[in-house]
């Protein structure tokens, strides 16, 4: 609790212009394993601490009026991690939804899962479906959790959906445009990502939202995810507010 109090106080030092917040923030939460290793603990210990960091970031995003927050929780490649780590992550997921869903719902958070929900183990699949159904009509923060997600697979899936529509005669090939394509991505209806944050200093996208980050501003911080507190988050938002976004054009 003391740590939460300190983070909260420090965070207020960072001034933000409420009229220029990013509409859509995406986060690659990296560094849980290294955080645990530095403490001589198993990787699962880092993931558990990572969930605590995540709770604070979700709450703050909702409090300050961010429209959409998308987090990378588990990629299609993460299944190849050691069995006990995968199993710890799956347990944390169940725990997270069991513990947080009511508070998220009360705060009008709308949960969407990006990824192959059908490919998740049974209990997780049920919990994810229940969370989406429970919060479906909420009009607060749009919280998108990428789980069993890979961006290339998402793009291929969209191409297949469109091809099937053309095959059925519902659509002509010359009608396919970016709006139709975007409507077939898991992120359909969401604004483009404005700000992509990656923790732990790695400069790569790791198969995350390849299409949606086309004009996003990237902020990479050295902080490991469990240490990414509200101060660090507001600093990333402030950095975004200093960027000069041109979307391929020139400054007027």
- Interface residues toward ligand FPP, by CB under 6 A: 29-34, 43, 47, 50-51, 54, 73, 78, 89, 92-93, 96, 145, 200, 225
CB of 74 to ligand FPP, least distance (A): 6
Q: If you ran DSSP here, which 8-state letter would residue 183 be given? A: T
- In terms of CB distance, is 78 or 241 closer to ligand FPP? 78
CB of 46 to ligand FPP, least distance (A): 6
Q: Are 29 and 226 in contact (CB under 8 A)?
A: no
- In terms of CB distance, is 30 or 194 closer to ligand FPP? 30
Q: How many whole angstroms separate alpha carbon 53 and alpha carbon 89?
A: 15
- In terms of CB distance, is 162 or 199 closer to ligand FPP? 199
Measure Cα distances from 150 to 7, 27, 32, 72, 249 in Å: 33, 15, 20, 10, 30
Indicate if 148 belongs to the active site. Answer: no
The CB-nearest residue to ligand FPP is 33
Q: How many whole angstroms separate alpha carbon 127 and alpha carbon 214?
A: 32
Q: If you ran DSSP here, which 8-state letter would residue 193 be given? A: P
Residue of 17, 32, 63, 78 with catalytic role: 78
CB of 30 to ligand FPP, least distance (A): 5
* Nearest alpha-carbon partner for 233 in 46, 5, 12, 31: 12
CB of 228 to ligand FPP, least distance (A): 10
Indicate if 244 belongs to the active site. Answer: no
Range list of H helices, the chain: 2-11, 32-38, 43-64, 83-106, 122-135, 151-167, 178-182, 230-242
Residue of 10, 17, 30, 84 with catalytic role: 30
- In terms of CB distance, is 91 or 241 closer to ligand FPP? 91
Active-site annotation, residues: 30, 78
């Amino acid at each position: 609790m003391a740590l939460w109090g300190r983070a909260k106080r420090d965070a207020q030092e960072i001034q933000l212009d409420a009229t220029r917040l990013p509409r859509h923030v995406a986060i690659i939460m990296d560094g849980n394993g290294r955080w645990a290793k530095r403490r001589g603990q198993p990787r699962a210990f880092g993931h558990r601490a990572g969930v605590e960091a995540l709770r604070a970031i979700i709450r703050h995003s909702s409090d300050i009026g961010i429209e959409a927050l998308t987090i990378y929780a588990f990629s299609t490649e993460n299944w190849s991690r050691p069995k006990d780590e995968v199993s710890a992550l799956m347990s944390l997921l169940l725990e997270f939804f069991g513990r947080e869903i009511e508070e998220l719902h009360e705060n009008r958070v709308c949960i969407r899962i990006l990824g192959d929900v059908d490919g998740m183990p049974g209990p997780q699949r049920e919990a994810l479906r229940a969370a989406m159904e429970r919060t479906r009509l909420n009009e607060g923060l749009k919280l998108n959790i990428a789980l069993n997600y890979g961006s290339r697979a998402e793009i291929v899936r969209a191409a297949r959906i469109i091809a099937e529509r053309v095959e059925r005669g519902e659509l002509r090939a010359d009608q396919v445009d970016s709006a139709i394509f975007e409507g077939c991505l898991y992120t359909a209806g969401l604004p483009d990502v404005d700000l992509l944050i990656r923790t732990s200093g790695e400069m790569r996208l790791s198969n995350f939202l390849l299409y949606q980050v086309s004009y996003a501003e990237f902020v990479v911080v050295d902080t490991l995810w469990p240490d990414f507190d509200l101060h660090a988050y507001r600093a990333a938002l402030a950095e975004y507010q200093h960027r000069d976004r041109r979307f391929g054009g020139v400054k007027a």
